[in-house]
Every structure is written in structure tokens, then in C-alpha cells.
Structure 1
Amino acid sequence: MPAFSLGQTLWRTFNRVIRDWFLVGMLGAVALASLFPSLGKSGGLLHIDQVTDVGIALVFFLHGLGLSMTSLRDGLLRWRVHVLVQLFTFAVFPLLWWLANAALGDRVSPGLVLGFCYLCALPSTISSSVAMTGLARGNVPAAIFNATLSTLLGVVMTPLLITLLVGNMLDGGNGAGGHAHSLTDASLAIARLLLLPLVAGMALRPALHKWHVRFKRYTNLLDRFVILLLVFGAFCNSVASGVWRDQGLEVLGETLAGVAVLLAIVLALTTWTARRLGFATEDEITAVFCGSKKTLASGVPMAKLLFGAHPALGLIVLPIMLYHQLQLFVCSVLASRYGARER
């Protein structure tokens, strides 16, 4: 792609990200929580911790309504793509965290170490993986199957990986206990609050699909509004526990640098591996976009279930918040470049 055309693509993508009210909303939620932590903390004035459980279940029910069984069936046969994506999601990402933690873990705050571990243990995202694959003219049915499979596997794999990698950090590092749920409790809670509504939505899709399509604009708004509430509540708890007092704003720079390096490594590795395995371009696109993504929509609700009232909950969700925005920006550029190839 010529340099001028690439520059135009970068500029359009940058403008699109800047105009995204959701990004502004997340920044606003963090700022508001920093100023008025008593509003949204657990047991606070707004009782957000009680409201969001209903919102989370409703959001995943709506996600289930949006999943087509036909598309899942069509993507089932690309087994090599599926194996590659799931290995990157639940093996390569955690391995990269383990290597980075061995080299740099003692120089980073424990809350941020836990946050990057959590980011690497999360499943892939559904909506943006499929959207980017479609924009790049990749294998969309395989992307739908992989993203959905990743979400289902994440119910067990994410709490299992967190427990195996950093189980000793889940009490907030003070030995008090009671901040995090056990592996069994966390998996059951995730299944009840995320998986059960998702499956219910898929089961009711034939009856409610037309309604869902008609009001999709509003259901998408609900999805993001619930995430903003969760981000606000998480940072209220962390600010009330002294996260900014103890860490300082330089933690934002450290986190952004970390997620940028992580995304660059994973994009390079997925592309190289897909080509070494002789994937068709359409399957390479699916592997790159599904294998490099991490879900914010599941990540923030799952953090609440896994870590409970952990005093560093705001720091724990910070890497996925920044990774989410960065992956959208970078993958939009890549999707445009893939989509511009000769037909």
C-alpha cells in the first residue's frame, strides 16, 4: 500500500477512534470515579454492584440472540484455524505473560501484574473479531465459530489460568482473604451470569431474532452502558482503596506501553504462524484477528466475578481497557490493508 494511502487510512481510523463516545465514556468513568469514589464503590450511594449483575445477564442474553447457528456450523470444518486461534488465546498469551513477569515482574506493581495476567487469560472477543474479519474479506463463518468457542471455553479456562498463574495474589497481597472467589465458585458464577443467558439467547433466537435486529442499535447501547457502569464501579473501589495515591498516574504510561508491545508481538506471531502453516489468506485473516483479540465485553464483568472486592480491581481491568482500544485502532488499519488486496 502506498505511503499516502496508508497515511489516509491511519488518519481515518484515528478520527473514528476519537469520535467513539464509548472511549470518551470510559475515560469519563475513570475521571468521575477518581473524583467521587464513594458514589460507585461496593455498598456506595448508587449500589452499582447490585444493579450490574442484572445488566450483565441481559447483555449476554442479547449476545446469544445475535449468534447464528448456521454460521457456527459453516465455520466448524476449519479445524486448523480453530486450533491455532485457541492455542494463541489460552496458551501463547499466558506464556508471553509468564516470560514478561519473570523478566520484569518485580519492577511493576502487583495490581498491574495481575491485570496483565488477567488480560492474557481472557477469551477472544466476538463482535470486533467478526467485524474486522468481514472488513478484511476473511473467513467470516470461521471467525464466528472461533470467537464463540473462545467465549464458551473462557468460562473455565480464564479462572483456571488465573488460579494457576497468580493464585497467591488473589487475596490482594495482604493475606486477608475474601477478595476473590475460589476456582469452582468463580466458574459457576461465570456460567450462571454469562454462559446461561448466552445459551438462553441462542435458544430463543428463532422467536426473537426479528425483534433483536429491529432494535439492535439500542441493544448495542445497552451493552456499552453496562460496561461503563462496571468500569466506574471497579475504579471507585480502587480509588477508595488508594490506587492513585499509591501508584501515581505513571501507571497509565506503563500500561499503554505494555499492551502495545503485547499486541505487536501477538500480531506478528499469528501472521507468521498462519503463513508457515500454509493457510489461505482468508484463513490467515481469521487467525490473526481472532487470535490477537481479547474481550472487554466479557472481561470487565468476569473481573468482578473473579476478583470480588479486590482493592486493585481498577488496575486489574486497566490493561484490557487500553488493549481493547488499541486493538480496534491497529486491526482497523490491518483490515483495510487486507481488504484492499486484489480479488
Structure 2
Amino acid sequence: MLRRLIPDPFLLFLVGTVLLATFAPARGGFAVVVGWLSLATIMLLFFFHGAKLAREQVIAGLTHRRLHLTILACTFVLFPIVGLIGARTLPNLMPRDLWIGILFVCALPSTVQSAIAFVSMARGNVPAAIASASASQMLGIVFTPLLMGLMVGAHGGGIGLESLAKIAAQILLPFVAGHLLRPWIGGWVARHKQLVGITDRSTILIAVYGAFSAAVIEGLWHKLSPQALALLFAVDAVLLAIGLVMTWGIGRALGFDRADRIAILFCGTKKSIVQGVPMAKVLFPGPQTGVILLPIMLFHQMQLMACAFIARRYADQTEAASDRE
């Protein structure tokens, strides 16, 4: 029980990075160095992601197209619709940049590692989770910027062609290059999973430090009141709750069995901070990035805690049913 109450260690590093940026933000030449280091790690991150993605997993999963289309629709259609309804219905509830951050959460692809881990823990359809999560990450490189262009435009802003070009140069091209080189480097990447994991986390921490440094220098904590942060917490919680309830309900309404419904639940609601932070740095350059990142940082911890609890309950129910048999 105590272990379940301990927060994700990576969250502590994120909080520490935000505190570091608050009290010792990167300025001048050091800020330039942090910016270039962030760009280099972002490109390396997506290069490794391309090298890790096994085409066989995605191709094998396509045999269950109805399930995968349902999961992808939850990720890239359901969540954006919910986010847009909230942003358009209650635009004055939070500052505009926080709403853009919520829309950004809604547009992000699924996670891979944690989604698969929760599906496995809950005794769900693991092969389907692997295929769907991998496809979601790959499609997210294209879908997330396009969705943000549409949603931010509808919310009174816009994402220009320059940002989309940066996505192509800094994220899509390294991803494609890594995937094309997979036959030669895939084995090395698989043998050095720990190094790739360090790259994932260091990319996020460097990007967060750079983004929050710029935001702090521009007066981030003077612009955001405690009330706004409390409302953000509530909005994130409501968004996650709606996603969990609707994905489970959709799976049941469409007649999927329990194992498939578990895959829909976890793969359809998880949102990737690993892809989110680097993409935000590219899509939203400048001080606003720090504010826009707050929703995904908070949502990340919420989804981990909620999904861990739900997965454990489903596992207990499955074990209890097996014992009765």
C-alpha cells in the first residue's frame, strides 16, 4: 500500500527541474547553450524512437483493425473533441495558455511503455496494446501538430507553417532516419535500453528547464495565481475521468471482450509526456512554453496514479474469478 502512495520518481525530478528554473533560470549565453542542447537531445530522442519501432508489431496488429481504429479514435478524436468543448464553453475559466496546454494534452499520442505495462498488469490484450501504442506514437508525430493547428486556430490562435516545418526537420526526419537504419542499429538500441531511457528523461528535463527558465524570466509565477493552478488541477482531473469513463463505455458499447476493453481503456487514455515536451518546445517557442507544459506535467502524474489503481483492481478481479473456477 505504501509503495502505491509514493509518487513516480521521475515526477520528483520534474518538480526539481521546475524549482531550479524558478530560482536559477538560464540566462544569456547559458540559455543559448541550453537551447542547443535541448534541440540535440530532442533529435536524438526521436532518432532512437524510430530505431526502436518494429514494423512487425504494427503490421501484426493490423489484423485487429476494428480494435486499433477504436483506440486511435479515442486518442486523436475523442480527447480533442472533449478539450475543444471545454475550451469553447468555459474560455474564461483559466488563462488562455493553460487552455492551449489542455488542448495539447488532448492532441498527444499514447504512451508505449506504461500503457503496455498497465494492460499487462490488468490482464488485457497485450499484443493489441503493443501494436496500438506503437502506431499511436508513430502517427502522433504527424497528427499532433495538425490537430494543434486546427484546435489552437479554433481557440483564437494559430500554428504557422514555420512550426510545422520545424516539426518535420527536428522530429520527423530523425524518426524516419532512425527507423530506416533499424536493420543495422536496432540490435544495439535493444541492448542499450537503459541508455535510451536516460535519453528520454534527460530530453524532457532539459526541455522543461529551458522552457520554464524563459517563462520565469517573463514573470510566469506572477501571471499565474494559485486559483488558476487549482483550476488546472481540477480540469486535468475531469479530463482524465471523462477519458477513462468514455473509453470503457465505448469498448462495452461496441461489444469488445474484457481483454480488448482493457487495451482500449489504457491505450486510449494515456498521453505521452516523452513526445509532448519536445513537441511543445518546437510548436510553441518562447516563454509561453512553460505555461503550456504545466497541464501535461500534471496530467502525467494523475494518469499514472489512476491507471495503476485501476489496473491492480482489474488484476485482482481476474485472479478472483480464476480462483472461483
The verdict on a shared fold, with TM-score over 0.5 as the criterion, is: yes
After superposing the two structures, state which structure 1 stretch, 54-63 or 195-204, moved more.
195-204
Q: Deviations over 1:138-174 (max 9, x none)?
A: 2222222222222232233222222222227687xxx
Which stretch of the first structure deviates more once superposed, 138-147 or 205-214? 205-214
Change (3 A) 1:267 1:168: closer
CA distance in 1, matches of 2:134, 2:172: 11
Q: Distance in 1 between matches of 2:252 and 2:54?
A: 29
| Distance in 1 (alpha carbons) for counterparts of 2:121 and 2:84 | 33
- Indicate which of 299, 302, 308 corresponds to 1:332: 308
Structure 2 residue 11 is the aligned partner of structure 1 residue 23: yes
From 59, 69, 74, give the equivalent of 1:83: 69
Displacement of 1:44 in angstroms is: 4.2
Q: Distance in 2 between matches of 1:50 and 1:231?
A: 14
For residue 88 of structure 2, the aligned residue among 102, 107, 125 is 102
CA deviation map 1:2-39 (0-9, x unaligned) = xxxxxx4xx43222xx2x331111001111111122x1
Kindly state the Cα deviation for residue 329 of structure 1 after the two structures are TM-superposed. 1.2
User: 1:42 touches 1:49 (CA, 8 Å); kept in 2?
Assistant: no
**Superposition pairs for residues 56-205 of structure 1, below 5 Å?**
56-167=42-153, 182=160, 184-205=161-182
Contact kept in structure 1, 2:31 and 2:210, CA below 8 Å: no
Within a 5 Å distance, the mapping from 1:210-221 to structure 2 comes to 210-221=187-198
Q: Secondary structure at the match of 1:76?
A: helix
C-alpha distance in 2 between matches for 1:156 and 1:65: 17
Deviation at 1:71, TM superposition (A): 2.1
After superposition, the C-alpha distances for 1:279-310 in whole angstroms (9 at most, x for unaligned) are 1222111111111011101111111111111x
* Conservation of the 8 A alpha-carbon contact between 1:122 and 1:299: yes
Alpha-carbon distance, 1:181 to partner:
5.2
Of 244, 255, 272, 1:267 maps to 244
Displacement of 1:112: 0.8
Q: Secondary structure at the match of 1:77?
A: helix
1:52 alignment partner, one of 38, 45, 53: 38
Distance in 1 (CA, whole Å) between partners of 2:183 and 2:310 is 35
Letter in 2 for 1:59: L
Q: Does residue 284 of the first structure (1) align with residue 261 of the second (2)?
A: yes
Letter in 2 for 1:318: L
Aligned match of 2:21: 33
The 10-residue stretch of structure 1 (57-66 or 47-56) with the greater mean CA deviation from structure 2: 57-66
CA contact (8 A) 1:170 1:307 kept: no
Q: Quote the residue 1:5 is aligned against.
A: none
Residue 274 of structure 2 aligns with an amino acid whose one-letter code is A
CA distance in 2, matches of 1:268, 1:308: 34
Are the aligned partners of 2:153 and 2:159 in contact in 1 as well (CA < 8 Å)? no
Relative distance call for 1:157 and 1:45 in structure 2 (3 A) is closer
Letter in 1 for 2:115: S
* Separation in structure 2 between the aligned mates of residue 181 and residue 200 of structure 1, nearest angstrom: 25
Contiguous gaps of at least 5 residues in structure 1: 1-7, 172-179
Moved more, 259-268 or 139-148: 139-148
Q: Which amino acid aligns with 1:281?
A: R
RMSD, aligned α-carbons: 2.1
Question: What does residue 12 of structure 1 align with?
Answer: 3
Q: Cα–Cα, structure 1 residues 42 and 103, in superposed 2: closer, same or farther, change >3 Å? A: farther
Identity of aligned residues (%): 40
Query: What residue identity is the alignment partner of 1:76?
Result: L
Query: 2:3 corresponds to which letter in structure 1?
Result: R
- Match in the other structure for 1:320: 296
Secondary structure of 1:48's counterpart equals helix
Residue 225 (structure 1) aligned to one of 202, 212, 215: 202
Q: Could you tell me how far 1:316 is from its partner in structure 2?
A: 0.3
Distance 1:339 1:191, change over 3 A: farther
Query: Taking structure 1 as the reference length, what is the TM-score of the superposition?
Result: 0.86
The amino acid that maps onto 2:65 is W
Cα distance change, pair 200–263 in 1 and its aligned pair in 2 (3 A): same
